[in-house]
Structure formats: structure tokens, C-alpha cells
Structure 1
Amino acid sequence: MNSAMGIIITMESIMRRITLFILVIALYMIPTLEVYADDQRGFIKVRDKDGQEVCLYENSYALLIGVSEYTNGWHKLPGVKNDIPLIKTALEEHGFKVIIIENPTYEKLDQEYRNFINKYGQRPDDRLLLYFSGHGHTMKLAYGADMGYIVPADAPNPNLDQTGFLSKAMSMQQIEVYAKQIQSKHAIFMFDSCFSGSIFDITRAVPANISYKTSRPVRQIITAGDTDETVPDRSIFCQQFIEALKGEGDTDKDGYITGMELGEFLQKKVTNYSKNSQHPQYGKIRDQFLDKGDLVFQIKPTVKQINIPTIESDQPHIDVRNKPSNIMMAGSSFMLPGLGQYKGERYISGTTFMVLSLGSLVTSIIGYLQYNNAMEKYDNSIKEYHNASNSDSILIAKQAMIKAHNDADNKYKFQQIMIITTGSVWAINTLHSLFVGPAKSENHNFHSSDVGLNSYGNDNSVYVALTYHF
């Protein structure tokens, strides 16, 4: 038993060291993981005209619905099939996760709107865009008001079956219900269709600058045209929406496109390019709690390459890349095996040390768990030995106890070997970084084609960088 207790005390000391090692690695990796997570989520922060930071979105989601195959009296729209993938690509470049639904019936359309909102529209700091491309229609209701409808694949033509149309088409009142079910603060509904915009206030105001008010809740709507207008199958609205996202929609050149800017841009461009046959409508729904903010797209800086005349020189170039010192590499490798080698551009050795360290550490932990299990069996065999009541049972229990002790001893020895191996790999990895240092670059003759002058930014902010290509 004394021997067993000694083994347990030693293993506790070893496990404390392993735990410390894991904690050190975890603490070192936390900043990297946080940056990676923010990049993946597409977290967006903007600055207002006074330079104050306004935090807007953690995630961005888009639902794209395209109806091209109509089956009940409407002409088909083959161009929709081409438009939806183009919009998907443009939105993905702005950090949106995109879901595409094609040719839904009324029941499918209703289900997909609800599913999308329930899954992606419940987090306040997310941004939603819901886009419909297909036929739209406006009807004069019995009490005199106009009501706009979007037309799913199975809705009949109202000129042939008005009752069937009303049971299958989706009214703007239903869209308003969806809009109010969303918990995300910013959502925009876009319709590449023409119908009456009866549920929202049509806007003519000049878009406001980015400010703290921008982050307040809003439900915005943009349509491709007004009542009784016709949208061509080759969509001007779609083309100009994509151009807007590329930067043309940033009418005030502040690096951002707000929902109001987008509506104003589409109204001007589509009206012009359609030769005044389409008049897009845009605005916010009539709700005092959902008409204060403004959805925002962030424009990526442009990059322009400036060519420099060719100049030859026989002088070897000076390696100006910032390379870590041997001590810095050793410190990094001590914190995380292989990291110093990576910083010194010794990628093969860095990968090797990372794999060896991780493998030996995992094997050590597995060995400890196996040893722990063996010790439990050994303790149980001791109890059985003391509880044995006759010579035969005592003999059997003694043999079982000896076997369990030997098994625990073997597991302990294996654990010791793996601990020594892990420590050795760690030490060798650190010494390798300290004495070998960063990779050396080969000299080559300077040539002006290796130099590039890049400018970044928009009309308000421009950054210039001189780069050398190795």
C-alpha cells in the first residue's frame, strides 16, 4: 500500500504540471481564437462622422427567394435563375450567410419565411436581408385601398381566378407580420417585383449620416417598381443592387451604404436605365418602434497598383522583412511547441514539433487515465483480499491483487516514460529555436519589378504602401 500511495502522490504532482502546461497554452491561444471568432462571425463596427465607433452586427444572414417556374397563368421568368446566384455572391462578399429557395408554392414560401426568422432572426445584434424575385401584383380591395402581393409559383393569375389568387398570393400585410416577428434590430425586405407599397412610408428624404441612431431598430422595404409597372425578366434592379454593393451605392463616400442610401441609389439608377418605366419605392414600415435606425453595408477599400519603371541593379537586396531573434523564437516555442519555428519561417520543423508535442501530451493523458483505472482495480482487489473468508478465496484474491498491482505498476512506468518524452520534445523544441534561429533568405539582385506602390481607401481616406516582392 505504501508503494501505491507513493505512486499516487507522484502522479498528482505530474498531473499538476500537465494542467499548468495546458493552461499556459490555452492562455497563449485565447487572443488568436478571439480574433478568429470575430472574423468568422463577421462582426461589424462603423464610425460616425465624428469618429465615434458604433457597434452594429455580430452575424449577417440573407434569404434569397427566386420564382421563375410559374404554373398557373403567369409567364415564366428564366432570368431569375441567373440573378439569384449573382446576388448570393455579392452578399457573401459582405459577410452574409445566404440561404436560397427556388420556386416555392404558397405553403413553402410561408414556411421558409417563418423558418428563416425563427432560426436567424432572434438575436438582437444580427442583420437580416430577405430578397424576393418574381411576379408582383396590386389589387384594389373592396374598401378602396390598394394591396400589394408577391406571387408564389402556384398562385393563379387573378384575371383568370381572383379567389384562387387571394388564397395563394402573399400580401404585404403578411410581410409586415414577418417583419414584426424578427428580433434582430435591422432587417431589410427587398422585392424585385412591382406592387403598391401600402405598408411602408415611401421616403424622399436625403439619407442621414452614420450616427448612434443608426443602430436603433428598423424594418426597411425596397421594391423594384410601383403599382401597375412591369419588371423586365432581365432585371435592372438586380444589376444595380449588385453595383451598389460594390461601392456605387455609397453616395456620400463615407465608406458605408445605409438602407436609405441604397433605396435612393436604386430609385435613381433603375428609373434612369429603365427609361422611366420603373420607379423603385423605398422606406420603413409604419411602426414607431421600427422606423428609427438604418441598415448598414460596409464598403471594402479599393486597391490600385501603380507601375514603376524598370531599373536594374547588380547590388544584392537587403532583406527588410522583420524576422524574430533566436531568443524571441525560443520564448515562443517554450510557450507553444513549434510556434517559434513558424515565426522564424521554419515550417517543417515547426509542424513536426507541434505534432510530436501534441501526440506525446495526449498519450500521457491517456496513460494517466489508464493508470487511474488500474489503481481502482487494485484498490478493489485489496478489499476483496481482506474480505476473503477461506483459504481458497484468499489465494484467488491474493493472485488477483498481485496481478492488479503489476498492471498498475506497468501503467505507471508507461506514464513516466510519456511524461519524460513530452518534456524532452518541449526542451528540444525550445533549444532548436534558440540555436538554429530563423530561416535565412537567399540574396538576389534588385529589380524594380519587385517593387509595388499600392493605394488603399475611398474618396475620404487614402493610404499608400510601398511593397517589395520577395
Structure 2
Amino acid sequence: MKNITNILIFIAVAAGIFYGYKWLKGADFSGNEGNTYAVVVGISDYLNGSDPQSGVQAQLNDLRYCDDDARIFYDFLRSPAGGSVPAENIALLIDNQASKLQIINQMEAFFAKSGPDDRVIFYFAGHGANGFFATYDIDMRNMNTSLKHKEVKEVFRKCRAKTRLCFADACMSGSMKNRAREVVEMKPVPVSVRSFEDEESGLVVLMAARSYQYSSENVSIGHGYFTKFLVDGLQGGADKNKDELVTIKEAFDYLYLHLASLPKSGPEDKGQVPVIFGKYDPDMPVAKLKGAA
């Protein structure tokens, strides 16, 4: 009887360790743990922007593919690899839908639904610079109209989700952590505060470029390089060990390999190298491929 009791105790402890480990891995892109709530933003046509080929003077140039970038990231979330996230759990904001007020309102509304076992995601494609994202209605003469990194971070901080992810395909988006340049004049501006690095917010932030670099778009692929490689990686390209799970480290390594190897257009081209920061487990799954247990 004593031996049987010891065996049962051993089984119970082993099961506890196993399921405890699974719980620590927590909410991921597999969709098997909790729910996902996401706000996906893509802005190509700005209220105060213009086509650079038009010759019209404007506060900033319109972009080409940020709306398409947002749509393929949305499609990824809706796919099995992205967790088959229900459409009602995702706010997709394109161009004039992506005002500062609308983005904040949608983030607050969707993220407030999350619980401890859930994950929340903010994806942004568009202009960015020193401590802010350029929303559709930005007025460069009044920086209170910009979506500041600290405002995004505050929404993340208020939610209850265990997994909090931010992906930004924006020019000089590395300013969320280090240095940046102004959108219009493109002059170096020192940043003394790491505006998006905050352990209290629990964020994992994956950025398109370092603070002194541009996030590039490409006509032949019809997307920004960062988003195209990100989605390709999450759909399986980044699964280096072939275990049918893509971890956050595998996703970053895949992005780094492809972005750092892009050919430079000239001596002024400083290249494009992705940035990742935050407090996270490098083995945290961010995509689950077909057949993964």
C-alpha cells in the first residue's frame, strides 16, 4: 500500500510540474490558452500628407503599403498559425479610421476585455519618430495630436492580460527605446527617456528599425520589408528547429537575418536592423503551425 501511495504522489507531483510549465508558457499565438485581443493600424494616406511625386508641399509624405501591411498582419491573426482570432476580437483601423482618438478608444475597449490568461496586441504601420506614432490626423505644428509612446504604454499597463505584444513597422521606430529624428527635418534629437521600455507595462516590443534608420517599403513585394518578413516568419519561415512553433526569439532572429542583409541604396543608406526589448521568455511561442501539439 505504501508503494502505491508513493507512486500516486509521484504521478501527482509530475503532473503538477508538467501543467505548471504549460501555464508558465501562458497565452501564445496558438489560441489554446485564453483569448487574443488586437488593435491593428495601417496608415498610408495622411490627412496632412501628400504624394511625394505630386510636388505638393505637405507636412509629411504619404506612404504606399502601410494599409496593406496592416491587412496581412490581420489575416495572420485570423489564420490558424495566428490563433484563429475571431474578427470581433480585432479592431482593424486603416487610413482615416486611425485617428489618435479612435486608436486609443479601440485599444482601451478591446484590451479591457482581457483577463490574466489572455494576450493583447498592438500593431502599427505608418510614420513614427521621437517618442510618438504619427496617426492619420496628426498636425506636426501641434505634437499633442501625435500618439505618444507613453499613451500606448499606459493602455497596456491598465489591462490584465499576461501576454502583451507591440509590433511597429514605422520609420525610426527604435526611438521607442533610444534615439530618434524628427519626421519633417530628419535632424538628430537626443532622447533621455526610454519611452517604451517599462517593466511595469509588461510589454514585449518588436520594432522595424533602430533609431537612426528608416523602415523601408518595396514596390516589388508591395509591402514594408519588416511586416512582410514578420508574417513570413510567423507562418513558418522562422521555425528554425522545425518543432512547428515559432518563438519570439525565432521571429526576431528571422527578421534580423533578412533585414540586415538587405542591399543598401547608397552611402547615405544606414540599413535596417530590427529591435526587440521588454521582459520576456525568449521561448515564448508567438505562432503555432499545423500539427504542433
Q: Which category of TM-score, normalised to the shorter sequence, fits these structures?
A: 0.5 to 0.7
Partner of 2:261: 272
* C-alpha distance after superposition, 1:205-252 (max 9, x if no partner): xxxxxxxxxxxx942001111223222233001111111111122234
- Cα distance in 2 for partners of 1:52, 1:180 equals 25
Which stretches in structure 1 are left out of the alignment for 5+ residues?
Answer: 1-49, 139-147, 203-216, 285-290, 302-455, 462-470
- Change in 2 beyond 3 A, CA 1:260/1:181: farther
Q: Does 1:102 align with 2:91?
A: no
- Change in 2 beyond 3 A, CA 1:127/1:219: same
- Cα distance in 1 for partners of 2:168, 2:119 equals 17
- Change in 2 beyond 3 A, CA 1:222/1:112: same
- Cα distance in 2 for partners of 1:171, 1:134 equals 14
Q: Which has the higher helix share?
A: 1
Which stretches in structure 2 are left out of the alignment for 5+ residues?
Answer: 1-17, 27-32, 49-58, 178-193, 219-223, 265-269
Greater Rg by CA: 1
**Higher RCO (CA 8 Å, separation ≥ 6 residues):** 2
Q: Does 1:226 align with 2:210?
A: yes
Secondary structure at 1:77's aligned position in 2? coil
Q: How many residues align?
A: 218
Identity %: 19
Q: Does 1:190 align with 2:190?
A: no
Alignment partner of 1:54 out of 16, 22, 34: 22
Given residue 209 of structure 2, which amino acid in structure 1 is its aligned partner? Answer: G
When the two chains are superposed, the root-mean-square deviation of aligned CA atoms in Å is 2.7
Query: For 1:57-456, what aligned pairs fall within 5 Å after superposition?
Result: 57-72=33-48, 73-93=59-79, 94-95=82-83, 96-97=85-86, 98-103=90-95, 104-119=98-113, 121=114, 123-138=115-130, 148-157=131-140, 161=141, 164=142, 166-193=143-170, 194-195=172-173, 196=175, 197=177, 198-199=194-195, 218-234=202-218, 235-273=224-262, 275=264, 277-284=271-278, 291-293=279-281, 295-301=284-290
- Change in 2 beyond 3 A, CA 1:126/1:273: same
- Cα distance in 2 for partners of 1:76, 1:188 equals 27
Shift of 1:296: 2.0
Given residue 54 of structure 1, which amino acid in structure 2 is its aligned partner? Answer: K
* C-alpha distance after superposition, 1:427-450 (max 9, x if no partner): xxxxxxxxxxxxxxxxxxxxxxxx
Secondary structure at 1:152's aligned position in 2? coil
- Change in 2 beyond 3 A, CA 1:83/1:292: closer
Shift of 1:262: 2.0
* TM-score w.r.t. length of structure 1: 0.43
